[in-house]
Amino acid sequence: MRRSVIALAVLMTWISPALAEDWVPPVTDPLVQKECGACHMAFQPAFLPARSWNRMMDELSDHFGEDASLPADKTQAIRAYLTANAGDVQMKGRAWKYMKWVSPGGTPQKITENPDFERKHRFADKVWKDPKVVTKSNCPACHRAADKGYYEDD
Ligand code: HEC
Ligand code: HEC
């Protein structure tokens, strides 16, 4: 009896990050961290489907009004990482909730326009205009462990 309780506790600690609703696997690739973390946090690939990342990597020269283009070899390596870890490929942690709202052929480019994001982030205008926040994409302004994939602290 006692032994099975301990075994269960161990199992729970081991699997809980993957089951936690507000967790997504963090970016572990140093190239992605560096190149896609230069202007904003390197967003976790689980928040968008593979076809969105493919489109984004095709359009880096006009990335939300910025030129974020990279040499072909780096573009290829980053594309491979993002698509292999995309939300519709891994379906880990919170990814399935985000994917549920993406239309079957859709290639959304903004995590912050996903209805699941909008549902959890209905704050007054003054919150978004706070100089520490400025933009919805600034996840670490409110989620201290955002770069580790944890979004439960608010
Ligand atoms: C030269 C600066 C720059 C670089 C480098 C850059 N980005 Fe961006 N990115 C931006 C800007 C500006 C926005 C728009 C932010 C906003 O609307 O608040 C953005 C937005 C995004 C968004 C949407 C965020 C949201 O609001 O949901 C994603 C996803 C994204 N970038 C991924 C990437 C990836 C992947 C890379 C690496 C290949 C990358 N970015 C590199 C400047 C950059
Ligand atoms: C202005 C502060 C702020 C910003 C910026 C922000 N969030 Fe949040 N976020 C919150 C708060 C507060 C909650 C809790 C809301 C709730 O539980 O209803 C939350 C909830 C979440 C949740 C759900 C966690 C849960 O409890 O179910 C996720 C996932 C999340 N945010 C991801 C993001 C991502 C990704 C970004 C950046 C693209 C981001 N957030 C930007 C404040 C923010």
Banded model confidence at residue 152, pLDDT cuts 50, 70, 90: confident
Q: Whose CA is nearest to atom 13 of ligand 1?
A: 64
Residue/partner pairs of 30-33 with CB below 8 Å, 24 or more apart = 31/74, 31/77, 31/78, 31/81, 32/78, 32/81, 32/82
| 9 has pLDDT over 90 | no
Give the residue from 86, 115, 87 showing the smallest Cα distance to 99: 87
Ligand 2 mutation pick, 135, 138, 139, max ligand atoms within 8 A of CB = 139
What's residue 92's pLDDT?
Answer: 83
**pLDDT (0 to 100) of residue 50:** 98
pLDDT > 70: what percent of the chain?
A: 85
Q: Is the CB of 143 under 6 A from ligand 2?
A: yes
| In contact, 101 and 48? CB cutoff 8 Å | no
The confidence score (pLDDT) of residue 13 equals 47
Q: Is the pTM of this model over 0.75?
A: yes
**Residue 150 confidence (pLDDT) above 80:** yes
Q: At what angle do helices 50-58 and 72-84 cross, to 10 degrees?
A: 170
Residue-averaged pLDDT of the chain: 89
Q: What confidence category does residue 133 fall into, taking pLDDT thresholds of 50, 70 and 90?
A: very high
Q: Name the residue ranges covered by the structural domains of the chain.
A: 2-148
What backbone phi and psi angles, to 5 degrees, belong to 27? -75, 125
CB-CB neighbours of 119 under 10 Å: 10
Indicate the residue type of 137: S
Q: What is the pLDDT of residues 72-127, one digit of tens each?
A: 999 999 999 999 999 999 888 889 899 999 999 999 999 999 999 999 999 999 99
The rounded Å distance from CA 104 to ligand 1 centre is 23
Average pLDDT over residues 46-68: 98
**CA separation for the pair 58, 16 (Å, rounded):** 36
Q: List CB contacts of 126: < 8 A, sequence separation 6 or more.
A: none
Q: Report, as an integer, the average pLDDT of 42-52.
A: 98
Q: Given a cut of 90, is residue 21 above it in pLDDT?
A: no
Indicate the DSSP class of residue 135.
S
Q: Which of 100, 91, 93, 85 is nearest to 19 (CA)?
A: 93
Residue 94 to residue 78: CA distance in whole angstroms = 22
